């Protein structure tokens, strides 16, 4: 029995966690409950936390081992598992990933890797006064609600996830986007994942999408592939499946990448700064 409280956020997924201090190690009971509640709710919001980088990594390890990120120019010195997410620019150069004022991209963290990511933990240090929300889509409920015809069509299909393709598309829209180095490009070859994945712990199916990282569906011509992906994205990001998180300093949001996807919202970096730190567990 946990000593914290859970308050659901959305009709299909998401919950606010109350009465917990993650700056202190959790006992086995609360740790087990937190892991179980993430599987149940898919997104957990924990407010009013004061976390060091060491705390962030310790909490992340409740869910598995945090990944060392390939873009080491954005990792925290001495903490290769922690990626800086920010729109702050210094000397005209962004200090973190997702720097653009209008850089929106629905995705699942690290879907460009052969082994799928499990859980991400994002901690807010500077919160913007306007904009910069993170929007989460319940791709599990979205799959459940597909028509029988569309479900039969997508089951068994695979799509190509490409970080190189993603960066090429982002660079076309954002001239300050730092390109991948040749070494980094060599570390991120294209991978193939199913459009519908089976959660290894809950046994539920969900859509695995990404509106800028997918080159296309394997074995489907470009026009048909684009049309089908657009249809699935429109369905999965319908309002009934989306929770939009308005950040406050001290928020920690934990989400299950195997059951959701997410995107940033526009934020004018000349007026409203945002700084967050993210770990991703494989």
Sequence ranges of the domains in the chain:
5-281
pLDDT by residue, tens only, the chain of 282 residues:
678 999 999 889 999 999 999 999 999 999 999 999 999 999 999 999 999 999 999 999 999 999 998 778 889 999 999 999 988 888 877 788 765 555 678 999 889 888 889 999 999 999 988 888 999 999 999 999 999 999 999 999 999 998 877 777 666 566 656 667 777 777 778 999 999 999 999 999 999 999 889 999 999 999 999 999 999 999 999 999 999 999 999 999 999 999 999 998 877 777 888 999 999 999
Superfamily of domain covering 5-281: Clavaminate synthase-like (3.60.130.10)
* Per-residue model confidence (pLDDT) at position 19: 97
User: pTM for the complete prediction?
Assistant: 0.91
* Per-residue model confidence (pLDDT) at position 90: 84
- CB-based burial of residue 19 (10 Å sphere; 0-12 exposed, 13-18 middle, 19+ buried)? exposed
Q: What does the angle CA 216 – CA 157 – CA 196 come to, to the nearest 5 degrees?
A: 100
Contact between 146 and 214 (Cβ < 8 Å): no
* Per-residue model confidence (pLDDT) at position 185: 74
* Per-residue model confidence (pLDDT) at position 82: 97
* Per-residue model confidence (pLDDT) at position 176: 58
* 190 CB-near residues (< 8 Å, 6+ apart): 112, 160, 161, 162, 164, 165, 215
* Per-residue model confidence (pLDDT) at position 100: 54
* Per-residue model confidence (pLDDT) at position 101: 54
Q: What does the angle CA 188 – CA 265 – CA 51 come to, to the nearest 5 degrees?
A: 75
* 168 CB-near residues (< 8 Å, 6+ apart): none
């Amino acid at each position: 029995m946990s000593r914290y409280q859970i308050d659901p956020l959305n009709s299909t997924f998401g919950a606010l966690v109350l009465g917990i201090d993650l700056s202190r190690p959790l006992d086995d009971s609360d740790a087990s409950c937190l892991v179980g509640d993430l599987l149940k709710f898919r997104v957990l919001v924990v407010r009013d936390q004061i976390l060091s980088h060491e705390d962030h990594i310790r909490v992340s390890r409740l869910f598995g081992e945090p990944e060392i990120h390939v873009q080491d120019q954005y990792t925290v010195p001495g903490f290769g598992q922690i990626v800086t997410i920010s729109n702050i620019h210094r000397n005209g150069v962004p200090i973190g990933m997702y720097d653009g004022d209008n850089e929106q991209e629905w995705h699942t963290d690290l879907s460009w890797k052969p082994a799928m990511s499990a859980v991400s933990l994002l901690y807010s240090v500077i919160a913007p006064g306007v904009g910069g929300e993170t929007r989460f889509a319940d791709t599990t409920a979205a799959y459940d609600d597909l028509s029988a015809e569309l479900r039969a069509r997508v089951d068994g299909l695979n799509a190509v996830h490409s970080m190189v393709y993603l960066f090429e598309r982002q660079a076309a829209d954002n001239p300050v986007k730092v390109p991948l180095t040749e070494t980094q490009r060599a570390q991120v070859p294209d991978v193939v994942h199913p459009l519908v994945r089976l959660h290894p712990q809950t046994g539920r199916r969900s859509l695995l999408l990404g509106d800028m990282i997918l080159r296309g569906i394997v074995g489907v011509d470009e026009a048909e592939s684009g049309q089908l992906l657009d249809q699935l994205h429109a369905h999965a990001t319908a309002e009934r499946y989306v929770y939009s998180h308005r950040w406050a300093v001290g928020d920690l949001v934990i989400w299950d990448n195997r059951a959701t996807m997410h995107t940033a919202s526009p934020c004018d970096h000349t007026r409203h700064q945002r700084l967050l730190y993210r770990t991703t567990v494989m």
